[in-house]
């Protein structure tokens, strides 16, 4: 037996154990540290370095942070805090700066007096960004000197060196993300501004500046500590500074809403002088809640123990006040957690010394003590607010009472729909053409516009896996419609039963009957409106379907171009122009054909080319004919064309609907689909030039 055969026979042994040193584990498995190597992970690098600067401000050591987007996809983050220590570390025998930047789990936040409260673990965030950057430079101003060290993919290039004297203090981190790690390096200005604005609300008295200097190659003086006033260039920039904290943030969120009560509730309290609870809330005339939570200024989109404490205290306080003041009658049932959240805008922020997140990306707080801390601080303060503001309290109770009554009506309507669906075998009584397979993972539901498109789709589909549901007209705008009114709509009722997941508190994604739900509407204003109405329905009541990647939008072609025996479908005017140019066709001499006019031949210019593999004489010209059909709607395609271009999994183009920024999505739906006219008008006027509308 050979040595290799002997090794295989022995199986798993010590020789199979791979040891990764330094920051190698981060480069080997970046997703474990930043969640993804897509856009979220790329921007997470900025958040990690900014969090370190922000934590200096949280501790009272800094009052200004700055983020600059530099040429060459470089990012620079500056703070005027204490500056990272540069003296030799006892354990590593190298500079503390080098230790922090090149070693996992090394930093001032694991113990000692460096940070009493922080948003994350300094050594993890900084070293991870270093590992995933092709280049990083850290400049430190402290103790009367200026110190610098450079790195390449997490490894130092030189030892920390003193660059000269300085009477400043703070840290400047410049990094360039590694294109070997990230799918695409493209920073989103709007996303960065939104995140940093939010952080400025969370740290009172901290000025946050963000500058886009990507177009100024060769004009950036890297010796400047802060660019904002000294850059000398007219670059896009924003500066944020808020004294109101979360109260200002709630005002910002509700700027397009109609408040139910005048005074915004706000409390900030530090029971032990270190850990603190900060909460602001206001009810608005809406049916959707907006609750944002933070732990040590890190966003926790999945909530956690602090949010559980808030909801428990809120429900208890409103029930107690309503009973005590006879606003809830004796025979009426108590408010539920869902009742008290309808129409609320709330921000909950806790700062905890020994913080525990669930997962490296810190999306959910796991610290058990946070629940009781929030329950106590918020509960006491909110009870006092209700007693001191009886008009506001009555308005809030009335709002919640309306939600309770609507919940009862919605439950009756929902039960009726589900009962009816069950009696009919969970198939639609209307126009659904279901597929033959019972396996949801291979099933698709096409939601199409009108009977004409429905007829073509039903004839052209793959009956085994593709179901067709035609819509008659436009569905109800559900942005401000309660569940009982929604389910009174036959079109929405049919769709709910077809999906199989139920709706509301009985929603169960495991019962989804189709793995792909595909919205297929015409490429005109009405089609866009129908798509928007459907997306509003899915976002507000079937959000999990979007989050789990089940919602798609079909991309039917705009043109069918026939040149000789070659047929090509193109999806935009730009693609049409490019293809005709490749063929040598001059559009100035072409006559467009529409589907209404039928398919006619359009003479093209004489061109020198080869057709069907046969060569013409050198320099000879031959006449060509181009057939070009412009599709105005899916119903104008015959079944074969519709399947070939829009339904065939091998050839079609689908766009998956995703939620990149939940807060931004909420705001857009509020503006476009809500009842307030002014915000919608402003949005349309501001973005009108971006629209490409085919009327």
Catalogue the active-site residues. Answer: 449, 522, 524, 526
Distance of CA 160 to the CA centre of its chain: 39
Contacts of 671 (CB under 8 A, 6+ apart): 256, 679, 680, 683
With beta carbons less than 8 A apart as the criterion, state whether 276 and 350 touch: yes
Task: Please state, in angstroms and as integers, the Cα–Cα distance from residue 91 to each residue in 99, 130, 238, following that order.
Answer: 10, 21, 42
With beta carbons less than 8 A apart as the criterion, state whether 72 and 187 touch: no
With beta carbons less than 8 A apart as the criterion, state whether 78 and 209 touch: no
Angle at 197 between CA 195 and CA 202, to 5 degrees: 95
Q: How far apart are CA 518 and CA 471, in angstroms?
A: 13
The residues pairing with 145 across neighbouring beta strands, listed in sequence order, are 142, 165
The residues pairing with 208 across neighbouring beta strands, listed in sequence order, are 65, 240
The residues pairing with 269 across neighbouring beta strands, listed in sequence order, are 277
Contacts of 548 (CB under 8 A, 6+ apart): 509
Task: Please state, in angstroms and as integers, the Cα–Cα distance from residue 53 to each residue in 59, 118, 547, following that order.
Answer: 10, 10, 32
The residues pairing with 611 across neighbouring beta strands, listed in sequence order, are 614
* Phi, psi values for residue 693, rounded to 5°: -105, 130
Greatest alpha-carbon pair distance for the chain in Å reads 99
Contacts of 136 (CB under 8 A, 6+ apart): 101, 129, 130, 150, 151, 152, 173, 174, 175, 176
Q: How far apart are CA 647 and CA 662, in angstroms?
A: 30
Q: List the beta strands (DSSP E) in 242-365.
A: 265-269, 276-283, 290-295, 298-299, 344-351
Pairing of strands 64-70, 207-212: parallel
Q: How far apart are CA 626 and CA 624, in angstroms?
A: 7
Closest CA to 494 of 420, 422, 542, 428: 428
DSSP 8-state symbol, 589: G
Give the count of beta carbons closer than 10 Å to the beta carbon of residue 45: 24
Pairing of strands 551-554, 559-563: unpaired
Sheet with 444-449, edge to edge strand ranges: 466-471, 444-449, 516-520, 551-554, 654-656
Q: Residues 390, 391, 393, 395: what is their CA dihedral angle, to the nearest 10 degrees? A: 160
The residues pairing with 553 across neighbouring beta strands, listed in sequence order, are 519, 655
């Amino acid at each position: 037996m050979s040595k290799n055969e002997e090794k295989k026979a022995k199986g798993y042994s010590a020789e199979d154990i791979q040891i990764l040193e330094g920051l190698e584990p981060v480069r080997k498995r970046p997703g474990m540290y930043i969640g993804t190597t897509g856009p979220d992970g790329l921007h997470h690098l900025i958040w990690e370095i900014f969090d370190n600067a922000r934590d200096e401000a949280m501790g009272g050591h800094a009052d200004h942070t700055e983020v600059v987007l530099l040429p060459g996809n470089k990012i620079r983050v500056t703070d005027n805090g204490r500056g990272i220590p540069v003296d030799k570390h006892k354990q590593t025998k190298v500079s503390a700066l080098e230790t922090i930047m090149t070693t996992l789990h090394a930093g001032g936040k694991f113990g000692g007096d460096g940070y009493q409260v922080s948003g994350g673990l300094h050594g993890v965030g900084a070293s991870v960004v270093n590992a995933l950057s092709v280049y990083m430079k850290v400049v430190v101003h402290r103790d009367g000197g200026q110190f610098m060290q450079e790195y390449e993919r997490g490894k130092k290039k030189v030892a920390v060196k003193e660059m000269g004297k300085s009477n400043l203090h703070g840290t400047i981190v410049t990094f360039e993300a590694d294109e070997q790690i990230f799918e695409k390096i493209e920073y989103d200005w709007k996303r960065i501004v939104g995140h940093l604005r939010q952080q400025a609300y969370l740290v009172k008295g901290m000025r946050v500046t963000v500058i886009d200097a990507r177009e100024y190659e060769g004009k950036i003086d890297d010796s400047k500590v802060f660019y904002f006033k000294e850059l000398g260039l007219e670059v896009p920039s924003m500066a944020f500074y808020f004294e109101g904290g979360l109260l200002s943030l709630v005002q910002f969120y509700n700027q397009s809403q109609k408040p139910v009560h005048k005074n915004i509730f706000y409390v900030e309290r530090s029971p032990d002088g270190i850990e603190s609870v900060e909460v602001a809330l206001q009810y608005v005339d809406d049916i959707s809640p907006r609750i944002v939570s933070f732990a040590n200024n890190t966003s926790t989109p999945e909530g956690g123990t602090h949010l559980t404490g808030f909801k428990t205290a809120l429900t208890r306080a409103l029930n107690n006040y309503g009973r005590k003041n006879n606003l809830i009658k004796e025979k009426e049932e108590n408010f539920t957690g869902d009742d008290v959240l309808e129409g609320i805008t709330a921000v909950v922020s806790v700062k905890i010394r020994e913080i525990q997140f669930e997962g490296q990306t810190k999306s959910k707080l796991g610290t058990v003590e946070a629940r009781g801390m929030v329950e106590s601080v918020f509960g006491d303060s909110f009870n006092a607010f209700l007693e001191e503001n009886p008009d506001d309290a009555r308005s809030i109770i009335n709002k919640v009472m309306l939600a309770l009554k609507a919940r009862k009506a919605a439950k009756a309507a929902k039960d009726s729909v589900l009962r009816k669906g069950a009696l009919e075998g969970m198939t639609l009584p209307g126009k659904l053409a279901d597929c033959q397979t019972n396996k949801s993972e291979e099933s698709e539901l096409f939601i199409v516009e009108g009977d004409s498109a429905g007829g073509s789709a039903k004839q052209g589909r793959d009956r085994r896996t593709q179901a067709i549901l035609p819509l008659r007209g436009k569905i109800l705008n559900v942005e401000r419609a309660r569940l009982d009114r929604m389910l009174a709509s036959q079109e929405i009722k049919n769709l709910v039963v077809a999906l199989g997941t139920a709706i509301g508190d009985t929603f169960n994604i495991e019962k989804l009957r189709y793995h792909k739900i595909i919205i297929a509407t015409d490429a005109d204003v009405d089609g866009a409106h129908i798509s928007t109405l459907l997306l509003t329905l899915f976002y507000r009541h079937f959000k999990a379907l979007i989050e789990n990647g089940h919602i798609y939008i079909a991309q039917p072609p705009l043109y069918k171009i026939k040149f000789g025996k070659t047929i090509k479908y193109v999806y935009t005017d730009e693609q049409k122009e490019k293809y005709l140019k490749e063929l040598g066709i001059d559009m100035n001499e072409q006559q467009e054909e529409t589907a209404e006019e039928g398919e006619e031949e359009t003479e093209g210019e004489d061109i020198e080319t080869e057709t069907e593999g046969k060569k013409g004489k050198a320099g000879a010209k031959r006449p060509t004919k181009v057939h070009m059909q412009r599709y105005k709607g899916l119903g104008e395609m015959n079944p074969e064309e519709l399947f070939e271009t829009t339904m065939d999994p091998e050839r079609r183009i689908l766009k998956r609907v995703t939620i990149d920024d939940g807060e931004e999505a909420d705001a857009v739906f509020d503006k476009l689909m809500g009842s307030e006219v002014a915000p919608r008008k402003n949005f349309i006027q501001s973005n009108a030039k971006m629209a490409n509308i085919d009327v």
